[in-house]
Every structure is written in C-alpha cells, then in structure tokens.
Amino acid sequence: MTAITTRPSAGRDPALRRRRRRTPLSWLRRGGLSNLVFLLPLLVIFGVFSWGPIVESVVMSFQRTNFVVTQWVGWDNFAALLRDPLVPTAVLNTGWFALLALIFGYPIPLVVAVLMSEVRRARGLFSALAYLPVVVPPVVSVLLWKIFYDASPRGVFNTILGWVGIPPQPWIQSAATAMPSIVLEATWAAAGGTIIIYLAALTSVPPELYDAAEIDGAGIRHKIWHVTLPQLRPVLLVTFILQIIGTAQVFLEPFLLTFGGPANSTLSILQLIFRYAFQNSIGVDYGKATALSLLLALFLALFSFVYFRITKAWSDD
C-alpha cells in the first residue's frame, strides 16, 4: 500500500529514472516489493514442486540411493546406461512410436480440421464428437482400448474385422502389431485437442485470400496448398514440436496396454526409466533412472533449440 501511494508521479526526468533504477530504495519505491509479493506464491510453488525436484534429480543421477542409504558414484550411472542393451531398444522404440505418431497423428487432425471447417451445419456437434476422447480420462480410455484389442476372435475389433472377412489380428499381443496399435489409440485420444487448435487457426485465415485464389482459378487442392497451409504454418510448427516432445515422453499407453511387451517391443524411454526406478522391487536404481531422465531432457531441450533456430526463418517468412 505505502509503496504504491508514495510512488513518485512518474519518471519523466530520464536522469532521475536512471538513478532510481540503481538503488534498492528506488526499486522498493517503484513497487518492486509488491511485485515480489505477487510473484512469491508462484515462485514458491514452482520452486518446491518443479525446480527443486529438477535440481534434486540432477544430484540423484550421480548417486546410488534407496532413500535410506545414499552414496556418490560419479558417472557410474551414465556409464551403466551406455552398457545396457535395453537403452538402444527403448530409444528405437520411442523413435518408432514418434514416427508412427507423426505419420498418423500429425496429418489426420489437420485433415479432419479442414473438413470440419468446410462443414456448414452442426459444426458444434462435430467439434464435440472430435473432442470427446480428450474428455475421457486417459486411464479409462486406454483400459477400454485394451478390451477392444482382445486378441481372441471374440475381441471387439476382431469381431468387427470378422464381419468383413478379415482374420483375427493379434493387436497388442504381437511385437509387430503392438506399436501401431498403441499409436492408433494414442492418436484417437489426442487428436481432439489438436483438431480444436487447427480449427481455431483456420477461422483466422482471412476469407478474402480464398476469394482471391478462386478468382485466380485455384481449385480446392490449390487453395489448401497455397492458402490454408501457409497460413497455418506458425501453428503447425508449434504443434509439430509439441508432438515430438510429447511422443518422446510416451509412457501411459505402453505402460497400461502392454507394459513394454511383448518382449520389450513397446518399451519406451520413460518406461525404461520407470523400470530402473521401481521395477526391481528394491528401488536401488533411482540414480540410473534420473540419469536417463536427464539425458532425455537434455536431448529434447537441444532438439527444440535447433528446431526453433531452423524454423525461425520459415515462420517469419
């Protein structure tokens, strides 16, 4: 209160303003304290629940600990990661998931969004239908899909396939089909959110651009290619990186659907981290788990940095 009411009328005199900036007193007079007070809850919450644990996990990646006995092991955890044959498996699996998710999960929402933007009637209904899977709690939807994926001829999907004469598929019970099955579920679950983003972006495309293109004789394909996509470019670039970051951290779907199986064919990096930390029952590998987390985080940070550097030119275009 005091800080606000006694604030000088304004820093009209540049010299005065400069001088004030330098002293803590002037910082205080300019409302620094109340700013800080407003910031404080945020700082505390982030500090306690986010930054603190981050620092903690960096520290832990150099330790061997079970929370009772802790010892420093230097780079041992990282060295052990390099020796573990499951690390390349997990990296490849995650890459495979990311690629499949990109192939299915990236274009499908875009196509659906473009189609939906063309729909004149009952658009609200379609939006609601598209967004519905996002509203369903992920655990529920994954477990539902697990039932759908029942590999016996009586399974939901296999029954449907049976109607059109396709033999029963093993779905998540085979190394070859497990990952695509997971991607299918993940795409279904996540598409709604992306569609809504695209829809919003599409409505912001000025209609006169389409008019101009039509006058120039452009068909629907040309309109999409030359008007819609370039207009959506900034949004597409952001959703792309979000998708990469998201898929690199895939955990829930393989954890619930396959637990990494069969035979580690769907073991993702995050799941491997989980295994290190928890699955050996005694939990002595928190160090290795945090070390792998750290590597993943570093990789994603680096990737994002490079990505934004490269695409900066495109989006500024």
Partner 1 sequence: MRIDSAALLVKDPELREVPDVVGPGEHPTEDRDEIHDIYRGWRAVADTYPGTRVLVGELWVPDIDRFVQYLRPDELHTAFNFDFLARPWDAAELRASIDATLAAHAPVHAPSTWVLSNHDVTRPVTRYGRADSSFAFLDKRFGTPTDLDLGTRRARAAALLTGALPGSLYIYQGDELGLPEVEDIPRELLQDPMHYRSGGVDPGRDGCRVPLPWSGDLPPYGFSTGAVSAAPWLPQPASWARYTVQSEAADPRSMLALYRAALRIRRAEPLGDGPFAWLDDAPEGTLAFRRGDAFLSITNLAGHPVPLPAGELLLASDELGQAADGSRELPRLHGVAPSTAASHGEPSPEKGKTMKSPRTVGAAVLALTALAGVAALSGCSSSGDQPANGQVAITVASLIPGSSDDAFKQFNQRVKEFEKANPDILVKPVEYQWTGPTFSAQLAAGTLPDVFNVPFTDSKSLANAGQLADITSEVKKLPYAGRFNQSLLSVAKNDSGDIFGIPYGPYAYGLSYNRDLFTKAGLDPDKPPTSWDEIRTDAKQISDKLHIAGFMVFTSGNTGGWALTEQTYARGGRMEVTKDGTTTVTADNEQTVDALKFLQKMRWDDDSLGSNFNLDWSGMNQYFGSGQTAMYPSGSDVLTSLVQQNKVDPKDYGLALIPTEGTGSGVLSGGNVAVVAPNASKAEQQASVKWIDFYYMQKLLDKKSAIADAKSLVANKQPVGVPQLPIFDKKQLDTSLGWIDSYINVPKANVAAFQNGIFDQTIIPEPAKHTQELYGALDSVVQAVLTDKNADITALLKGVNTQVQALIDADAK
The token duo for 121 is 């009637």
Q: Least separation, in Å, of the C-beta of 51 and partner 1?
A: 20
Which residue lies nearer to partner 1 by CB, 8 or 52?
52
List beta partners, residue 77.
none
Nearest to partner 1 of 167, 217 (CB atom): 167
Residue 207 DSSP label: H
Kindly state whether residue 2 participates in binding partner 1, applying the rule CB under 8 A.
no
Task: Give the nearest distance from C-beta 146 to partner 1 in angstroms.
Answer: 9
What is the length of the chain?
317
Tell which one of 9, 67, 71, 165 touches partner 1 (CB under 8 A). Answer: 67
Tell me the C-alpha distance between 277 and 284, whole Å.
7
Binding residues among 244-263 for partner 1 as defined by CB under 8 A:
258-259, 261-263
Report d(CA 13, CA 287) in Å as an integer.
Answer: 57
Residue 59 sits in the site that holds partner 1 (CB under 8 A): no
Q: Which is nearer to partner 1, 239 or 258 (CB)?
A: 258
**Residue 281 phi, psi (nearest 5):** 75, -45
Question: Could you say which residues in the range 153-192 bind partner 1, by CB under 8 A?
Answer: 153-155, 170, 172-175
Consecutive H or E run containing 71: strand 70-72
Give the pair of three-digit tokens for residue 206.
């000025």
By CB under 8 A, is residue 264 in contact with partner 1? yes
* Residue (70 or 117) nearer to partner 1, CB: 70
Q: Where are the alpha helices (DSSP H) in 258-285?
A: 269-274
Question: Per-residue x/- marks for partner 1, 3-22, CB under 8 A?
Answer: --------------------
Question: How many chain residues are in contact with partner 1, going by CB under 8 A?
Answer: 35
Q: Residue 139 is inside which H or E element, if any?
A: helix 138-148
Contact call for residue 281 and partner 1 (CB under 8 A): yes
CA 258, 259, 260, 266 torsion-angle sign: positive
Torsion of CA 224, 227, 232, 234, to 10 degrees: 140
Query: Contact with partner 1 (CB under 8 A): which of 15, 68, 135, 164?
Result: 68
Confirm or reject binding of residue 85 to partner 1 (CB under 8 A). Answer: yes
Task: Say which DSSP state 267 is in.
Answer: -
* Contact positions vs partner 1 (CB under 8 A): 66-69, 80, 83, 85, 150-155, 170, 172-175, 258-259, 261-264, 274-275, 277-284, 286
